[in-house]
Structure 1
Amino acid sequence: MRRRVPGIGMRVKLAAATMVIVGIALVVGTVIVSLALYTALMASVTREATGQLSAVVEVISREGVDGLSSATGAEVALGASVQLLGPDGSVVYSTNGNTPLTTARPGVGEVVLTGASPLPAPTEDPGLVVAATGVAYDGRSGTAVLAVSQDSQYEAVDTVLKLLLAGTPLIVLVAGAVAWWLVSRSLQPVEDIRTTVESISSRHLEARVPISDVDDEIGRLALTMNAMLDRLERGRRQQDQFVADASHELRSPLASLHTALEMGTGDPSGRRWQDLAPVMSTETRRMERLVDDLLTLARGDAGMVTSGRWRDVDLDDLVVEEARRPRGAGRVEVLFEVEPTRIRGDRLQLVRVLRNLADNAVRAAASRVVLSVEADGAAAVLRVEDDGPGIPPEERERVFERFVRLDTARTRDEGGSGLGLAIVHELVTNHGGTVAVDASALGGARFTVRLPLDSPDPGQPAAGLSTTR
């Protein structure tokens, strides 16, 4: 038996997978949220800078440089740095040192923005967002400059990023725990099924796994398991019945032989042996046929039945040979109606199918049995009919079961063991065909066998005989 390697449980795998997926999703979501927040804040900053710059330009145009020093200018540029640069770039007015904040020289009405990065930079000093535009004042031209800080925007983005990243491990752990709980809850019915199946033995197949009211994968698994257990229990009962029937069938010829031996040994003259010899020969042949049938079915159950060489077989020749086969003198006439019909198959198995059907019909017939064969499309149709009492419709499926006898015409006293039709069913199935029984125009039963003309060779060994009906 192959050694099983310990593996990671389904709960651990699914919980770990959930944690990885949630972790990746949170990290990606954090990046996206941070970028979206940064973009929105920077758009707000640039709008603020351009808005304040327009107000500064209006003050300069109306009041000149002095207007920037007034209360109006201070109120307009609240929280921002303002510069007025001359045509040569020199600082005319500044609230933030004497170093020009920009080297841009836009024309009047043209606004130039610098310092606003599309992506946040990993730096402690993000710098200023600078807006510049050309302005005319007191008959001169210059450049109005307004700069606002990005510190608050960077701090907001940094705070949100840290909070999201700090919460990611906790969310991942919670997701893993929830996944573990959900998987455990989902797998509990599977564990119940496993426990139930583990407790079922070959002697006690009546137990069934619990079935939930929900039509889901677990519910369908439970239904499938119960259907399998039904088949196993049915197969077990059939096997037990098969053994019991086989024992009963073998007991009769053995008892007859035992009685004959006692009677023969009780006659010192030895004359009684001559009278008992035909009886013992008959019982021996009967037991031999029964053992042969049982062996065929047992091999089929074990998947060990092999076919001979697959070859072309003329069914019409087999029918003629079977109809002309010598039988004991009696009241039954065996007729045949044939058309040239050739199929691919195992000749010995086909002979046995035909012989079992013919013997069964002869035992049941009142006076006549008709064997016929013809080609019907891609199949060969073999029929065996008799003028006996026939088979009731409700029994026509059961006749192919083992050890089934329906009436006095098919009794063990006349040579039938109840296995012939079961073997017919198995051998026909082995050829990919079907066998059925209905009413005959002669008044009795008609067995119809349909076999494909070109049945594929099952190889060596052939497919095992089925045991289910």
Structure 2
Amino acid sequence: MRPPRFPHASVRVKTTVGALTIVFIALGAACAGLLTVTRHGLVETAEKTARTRAEAIARDTRDGTLVQRLSVPGGEDSLLQVVTDHGRILAASENLTGRPPIAAFQPSAGRAVAARSMRVDTVTAERPYRVVAVRTESEGNAATVYAGTSLQTAEFTYRLILSSMIPGIPLLLALVATVTWRNTARALRPVEAIRAEVAEITERDLGRRVPVPASHDEVARMATTMNHTLDQLQQAMDRQRRFVADASHELRNPIAALRAHVEVAIAHPELLHGSDLLDDVVRVQALVDDLLLLARLDAGRRPDQAPFDLADLTAETLRRRPGGQLPVVLDASTPAPVRGDRGHLARIIDNLLDNAQRHAAARITVTVAATGDTVVAEVCDDGSGIAPADRERVFTRFTRLDESRSRDAGGTGLGLAIARDIAAAHGGTLTAQPPRTPGARLVLTLPRCPATADLAEGARRTGPRTGTIEPA
């Protein structure tokens, strides 16, 4: 039996009703089991007594020592009767004197004894008995010995147990309902406090936290988890607000410059320089593309999982970069197989090279190698370097350590942030490490994947991957 369902009821009601249902079923089963076992035991005891007496009388009947008046122990309410197959009564106890046969059943074929519970009308009254039938012979004639033991004690015990348990069941159910109702209310009190606090939290007031009970139970763990989730939500909202504010700030300058050029073009067409206008448009477009990529990365979009050689990709990226930039020394002599989105990882290499080009004095070095289960790519320049206190801050969005030079070079402060987010999406890391020589050293680490024949063929098509590579 399943507990009743109340889809719109409270947890207290459901818990109380469920507890009552289970206890009621358990009590009913226990009561029925006790009554059955008790009655069966008493009936079995009565049957054994009657069978012993019937078998003794059957032996006397076969031996010819049967007396007509059968005696029973004093004070017992028992029956004794010997009846031939023709219905003639050979002997009977005193309480069956002058009475007809008390039963007509006999043991079935192959069995010596049969027993039934029945009511028998004796000289004194009609009462319940456990009657046993045993086959015997008397002077060559087949006969049946009937012996009965009273079941009044069994019925009295049955009624006593039943009358004692039935009134106690409602009292016990009421006690269970009261205890369950109160304990459920006590257990749910912290939950209600958490619910009330969460209901007060809005997007403008994410600093509030739910109370954590001191019980260290499931509710306390839920409250702790909820506070942790609120911490993450607040951090995400703070990042979003900063991102929107920084994006608005960054877009304002190129849009203002673009507007100024348009206004000049309207007022004085002869002063319009198409290259200036195009530069502003390109800058706005690049910034919007960066913001769109960051939004996709923040949304948790999983990158493609295609295998390729990072060394090949680095060499290709270096060769297709526009001219007018510093040459790059590439050391990628060994295969560096990784798995991911080829375009996204090329964006990391491009961003790291752009950063190095803005800060390098005369030399940029790129190293790609596989070490154990990882692939490591390092981009080093001989510029002014990154102070230890700024080695983490450079990956914050819209951060520029050299404001004037970054703006003049067209930087938006998003390149390293985008590169780190792409690396994280591929299960890797991007960090600024202490340089081995004066300058800056940025290290990309990615999980290594097993090399395949396709990767080896691609390496042969790419050509040499070690030496100085001039931009296109």
TM (normalized to structure 2)?
0.69
- In structure 2, the CA distance between the partners of 1:132 and 1:232, relative to structure 1 (3 Å rule), is closer
Q: Which residue of 2 aligns with 1:467?
A: none
- In structure 2, the CA distance between the partners of 1:27 and 1:353, relative to structure 1 (3 Å rule), is same
3-state SS of paired residue (2:21): helix
Is 1:23–2:19 an aligned residue pair?
no
3-state SS of paired residue (1:418): coil
Q: Is the 8 A contact 1:371 1:385 kept in 2?
A: yes
Q: 1:399 aligns with which of 387, 394, 397?
A: 394
Shift of 1:424: 0.9
Q: Is the 8 A contact 2:297 2:425 kept in 1?
A: no
Is 1:195–2:196 an aligned residue pair?
yes
Shift of 1:286: 3.5
Q: Which residue of 2 aligns with 1:388?
A: 383
3-state SS of paired residue (2:366): strand
What are structure 1's unaligned runs of at least 5 residues?
57-63, 105-111, 118-123, 134-142, 456-469
Q: Is the 8 A contact 1:319 1:371 kept in 2?
A: no
Q: Which residue of 1 aligns with 2:315?
A: 319
Shift of 1:293: 1.4
Partner Cα distance (2:437, 2:229) in 1: 43
Q: Is the 8 A contact 1:23 1:169 kept in 2?
A: no
What are structure 2's unaligned runs of at least 5 residues?
1-5, 58-65, 106-112, 119-124, 135-143, 452-472
Q: Which residue of 1 aligns with 2:457?
A: none
Paired residue type of 2:288:
V
Write out aligned runs for 1:281-360 (5 A): 282-302=279-299, 312=308, 315-316=311-312, 318-319=314-315, 321-322=317-318, 325-328=321-324, 333-339=327-333, 340-341=335-336, 343=338, 345-360=340-355
Write out aligned runs for 1:415-454 (5 A): 415-443=410-438, 444-450=440-446, 452-453=448-449
Write out aligned runs for 1:223-262 (5 A): 223-256=224-257
Shift of 1:234: 0.5
- Per-residue Cα deviation, 1:280-338 (whole angstroms, up to 9, x for no partner): 6655544432232123223433567987x968566435435426734546xx5521112
Paired residue type of 1:35:
T
Q: Which residue of 1 aligns with 2:462?
A: none
Paired residue type of 1:94:
E
3-state SS of paired residue (1:450): strand
3-state SS of paired residue (1:208): coil
Shift of 1:351: 2.7
- In structure 2, the CA distance between the partners of 1:383 and 1:115, relative to structure 1 (3 Å rule), is same
Paired residue type of 1:441:
R
Q: Is the 8 A contact 1:381 1:450 kept in 2?
A: yes
Q: Is the 8 A contact 1:89 1:103 kept in 2?
A: no
Q: Which residue of 2 aligns with 1:465?
A: none
Is 1:97–2:94 an aligned residue pair?
no
Shift of 1:394: 5.2
Q: Is the 8 A contact 1:314 1:343 kept in 2?
A: yes
Query: Which shows bigger deviation, 319-328 or 21-30?
Result: 319-328
Shift of 1:387: 2.8
Q: Is the 8 A contact 2:377 2:444 kept in 1?
A: yes
- Per-residue Cα deviation, 1:369-415 (whole angstroms, up to 9, x for no partner): 10122344565432211233443555444432212234569743443
3-state SS of paired residue (2:215): coil
Paired residue type of 2:348:
V
Write out aligned runs for 1:208-227 (5 A): 208-227=209-228
Q: Which residue of 1 aligns with 2:365?
A: 370
- Per-residue Cα deviation, 1:174-201 (whole angstroms, up to 9, x for no partner): 5345434433433333333233223222
Q: Is the 8 A contact 1:358 1:384 kept in 2?
A: yes
Q: Is the 8 A contact 2:426 2:446 kept in 1?
A: no
Shift of 1:30: 0.9
3-state SS of paired residue (2:347): helix
Partner Cα distance (2:330, 2:180) in 1: 74
Partner Cα distance (2:401, 2:27) in 1: 75
RMSD: 5.0
Query: Which shows bigger deviation, 226-235 or 341-350?
Result: 341-350
- Per-residue Cα deviation, 1:112-139 (whole angstroms, up to 9, x for no partner): 996669xxxxxx9663356899xxxxxx
Q: 2:407 aligns with which of 406, 409, 412?
A: 412
Q: Is the 8 A contact 2:430 2:445 kept in 1?
A: yes
Paired residue type of 2:197:
T
Partner Cα distance (1:92, 1:419) in 2: 114
The alignment of Structure 1 onto Structure 2 pairs a total of residues equal to 418
- In structure 2, the CA distance between the partners of 1:259 and 1:303, relative to structure 1 (3 Å rule), is same
- In structure 2, the CA distance between the partners of 1:171 and 1:205, relative to structure 1 (3 Å rule), is same
Partner Cα distance (1:450, 1:415) in 2: 29
Partner Cα distance (1:85, 1:348) in 2: 107
Write out aligned runs for 1:77-92 (5 A): 77-81=74-78, 90-91=90-91
- Per-residue Cα deviation, 1:413-468 (whole angstroms, up to 9, x for no partner): 4433221011112233444443333123233323224254479xxxxxxxxxxxxx
Partner Cα distance (1:433, 1:337) in 2: 21
Q: Is the 8 A contact 2:47 2:115 kept in 1?
A: no
Query: Which shows bigger deviation, 251-260 or 206-215?
Result: 251-260
3-state SS of paired residue (1:440): coil
Query: Which shows bigger deviation, 348-357 or 160-169?
Result: 160-169
Q: Is the 8 A contact 2:428 2:444 kept in 1?
A: no
Partner Cα distance (1:146, 1:265) in 2: 128
Q: Which residue of 2 aligns with 1:59?
A: none
Shift of 1:214: 1.6
- In structure 2, the CA distance between the partners of 1:40 and 1:446, relative to structure 1 (3 Å rule), is same
3-state SS of paired residue (1:90): strand
- In structure 2, the CA distance between the partners of 1:344 and 1:22, relative to structure 1 (3 Å rule), is closer
Q: Which residue of 2 aligns with 1:175?
A: 176
Partner Cα distance (2:133, 2:18) in 1: 53
Q: Is the 8 A contact 2:430 2:442 kept in 1?
A: no
3-state SS of paired residue (2:29): helix
